[in-house]
Amino acid sequence: MFSIKMRAAQNGKHLSGAECLLPDGADIPAHSNALLARALDHSRGAPDEIHLTLRAVESAAVVSLPALPVREIRAATPAAGRAAAVKILAELGVPDADLLWEKFRSTYALRGAMLLNIDTGERLEPNPERGIRATCLDAADTPPAARQHKNHFREALILATKVADAPGVVAEICVSDDPDYVAGYVASRASGYVRVTPLKERGSADGGRIFLFRGDAATAARCVEYLERTPVLVRVQS
Ligand code: PML
Ligand code: MG
């Protein structure tokens, strides 16, 4: 298989990124072009640097997962949305779920997510300045044209499906960092993907992700390895 990753920046500041995971025989130039088109057409600005990386991936290791089932909660206000998210996390056994919003502040500056031990409060990312990236993932059978523009919901569902399958992950909580996109979600194998909107005020860029983890150090190491390196293809109903 081939992994293709795109990241675009302006004056050294990250603008956009996307990736694909392609089986043997896929039209690699067509997918690469679609990612380039996406990099060149971003609402946050024109990039002055684009990195496109192609790497062969061991296809015997690929995990295939059905997308998590989806439901949606529409709240009257961001505070009500956050309360709904906290309630689901509490039901999943996350202690002090209402205190997570404080932790969320430290995710705003991260490129990746926070990996948080929910029993000790310890952060487990190997590089806390960067956070942990859930990467090496894609939806199975994505046509090149579908890659040219960002689809928040679809991309989040694919990522959340991989994260929920990682060793030790109890749940994930995400708020979009896009100022015009006020939705987010709580996801886990037990709850499925629960889309919650709104979780923040329109115009706010305060978004991030926390992967809520429970387990010992060996499980944490397996979790990081899975999130960052195990190739996962998600089967999404279209
Ligand atoms: C992001 O990429 O900004 C996160 C998107 C969260 C998507 C929530 C949804 O629409 O279900
Ligand atoms: Mg974003």
pLDDT > 90: percent of the chain: 87
Q: 72-81, pLDDT tens digit by residue?
A: 999 999 999 9
pLDDT of 45 above 90: no
Residue 238 in this model has a pLDDT that exceeds 80: no
Distance 227 CA to ligand 2 centre (A): 18
Domain ranges of the chain: 2-61, 63-235
Ligand 1, from 107, 111, 152, 155: best to mutate by most atoms within 8 Å of Cβ? 152
| 3 state SS for 99-122 | HHHHHHHHHCCCCCEEEEECCCCC
Q: Per-residue pLDDT tens for 95-150?
A: 999 999 999 999 988 889 999 999 999 999 999 999 999 999 999 999 999 999 99
Compute, in angstroms, the gap from residue 178 CA to the centroid of ligand 2: 5
Distance 176 CA to ligand 2 centre (A): 6
The preferred substitution site among 181, 182, 193, 236 for testing ligand 1, maximizing ligand atoms within 8 Å of CB, is 181
pTM for the whole thing? 0.95
Report the candidate in 68, 43, 30, 8 with the shortest Cα–Cα distance to residue 191.
Answer: 68
Q: Which residue has the least CA distance to atom 4 on ligand 1?
A: 176
Q: What are the phi and psi torsion angles at 111 (to 5°)?
A: -75, -35
Q: How far is the CA of 25 from the centre of ligand 1 (A)?
A: 31
Ligand 1 atom nearest the C-alpha of 209 is 4
Contact 216, 47 (CB under 8 A): no
14 band by pLDDT with thresholds 50, 70 and 90: confident
Considering only CA atoms, which of 25, 26, 21, 23 is closest in space to residue 6? 21
Span from the CA of 199 to the centroid of ligand 2 (angstroms): 15
For residue 44, pLDDT over 90 is answered with no
Protein residue with least CA distance to atom 10, ligand 1: 153
Element (H, E) at 15: strand 13-22
